[in-house]
Amino acid sequence: MKATLKRRHRRTGIAAALALVVLGVPALAACGSGAGDDGAVKVGLITKTETNPFFVKMKEGAQAAADANGLELIAAAGAYDGDNQGQLTAIENMIAAGVKGILITPSDTAAIVPTIQKARDAGIMVIALDTPTDPQDATDALFATDNFKAGELIGAFAKARFAGAPAKIATLDLAPGVTVGQLRHDGFLKGFGIAEGDPQLVCSADTQGDQAKGQSAMENCLQKDPGIDLVYTINEPAALGAHTAVEAAGRAGEVTIVSVDGGCTGIQGVEDGKIAATSQQYPLKMAQLGVEAVAAFAKDGTKAGGYTDTGVTLVAGEPVTGVESKDVAYGKENCWG
């Protein structure tokens, strides 16, 4: 019995030590964030993931705008792209935290809607950034890139570059059933002037927007048809992966790769000639406009509404006639990541 008691004491000691460590970590973390400040108006930002440079830039823009407007920013993200439950939990916690507005890039555009409604019922203004909800009017407003136009721009660029010559096209898409990917894909086809099912489309594959998967997809496409000379990619990581595959096949310089995003790595790819052209979008601006809208709402109750196009610019290594584009220097000035 005595031995048991002694052991128990020792374990209580371990437990106490454990608790101390546990509580020390958030205390440290809290030092840098001004926690416990319940005075400032709060604005929540919920992104799809925390690590994607696009969302890192978005958070940066939100933080800068929050600082400029005297707002406190609370950020959260899903554990992975498509993590609806994580975003749902984040919205609930933000309602509990008493935020005035929530900016969200929905991972599951339909499934998140009931929870967004809960936030709006609690008097919170909700703005979708980058990706619209389904239905779009489930949020008060949408600040996003016109993804169809982004695709159309690179489609038109490719068309001018091929100047009527027939192409063998591979499309490296996002994933089935994701609106953003579908819009860019359709835009590209329209810009190039062909319809789905056109014989010039020789290969299509999903990449999840991932560089390694983009590379495998392109390798497989080149197996299917070694003569591919035009590649549409959902984003720049996929484009760079595709370039690696093309280079390994000994066809660098013969294949035109076009993409969407405008991240700094991607623009560097344009400068290096790996990517012919890309449609640049502006996550920082989305977040900035979003935070400013929340600041205005907190001030006098004006709600943002409808869709605001945050703009898209074609950045090309070598411009083609008939299609307006900016050069790499411009792209670098405005890139993210």
User: Site mask, other proteins, residues 26-65, x = CB under 8 A?
Assistant: xx-xx--xxxxxx---x-------x---------------
The piece of 16-24, 150-158, 291-299, 301-309 that touches other proteins (CB under 8 A) is 16-24
322 lies in the binding site for other proteins (CB under 8 A): no
Among 1, 5, 96, 163, which residue interacts with other proteins (rule: CB under 8 A)? 96
- Return the number of other C-beta atoms located less than 10 Å from residue 205's C-beta: 19
Residue identified by tokens 């890039």 is 105
CB of 230 to other proteins, least distance (A): 27
299 lies in the binding site for other proteins (CB under 8 A): no
Q: How far is 81 from 173, CA to CA, in rounded Å?
A: 16
Selection from 106, 229, 108, 81 nearest residue 158 by Cα: 229
CB of 160 to other proteins, least distance (A): 35
Please give the helix or strand (H or E) that residue 169 lies within, else none: strand 169-173
Beta bridge mates, 279? 260, 314
β-strands 312-316, 277-281 pairing: antiparallel
Among 67, 68, 70, 80, which residue interacts with other proteins (rule: CB under 8 A)? 80
Find the radius of gyration of the CA atoms of the chain.
24
Structure tokens given for 178: 């994701």
Helix (H, G, I), strand (E, B) or coil at 318: coil
Beta strands in 234-272 (DSSP E): 256-261
Measured from the CB atom, the residue of 37 and 300 that comes closer to other proteins is: 37
CB of 337 to other proteins, least distance (A): 18
Q: Point out which residues bind other proteins (CB under 8 A).
A: 7-8, 11-12, 14-16, 18-19, 21-23, 25-27, 29-30, 33-38, 42, 50, 72-77, 79-80, 82-85, 88-90, 92-94, 96-98, 107-108, 110-111, 114, 175-177
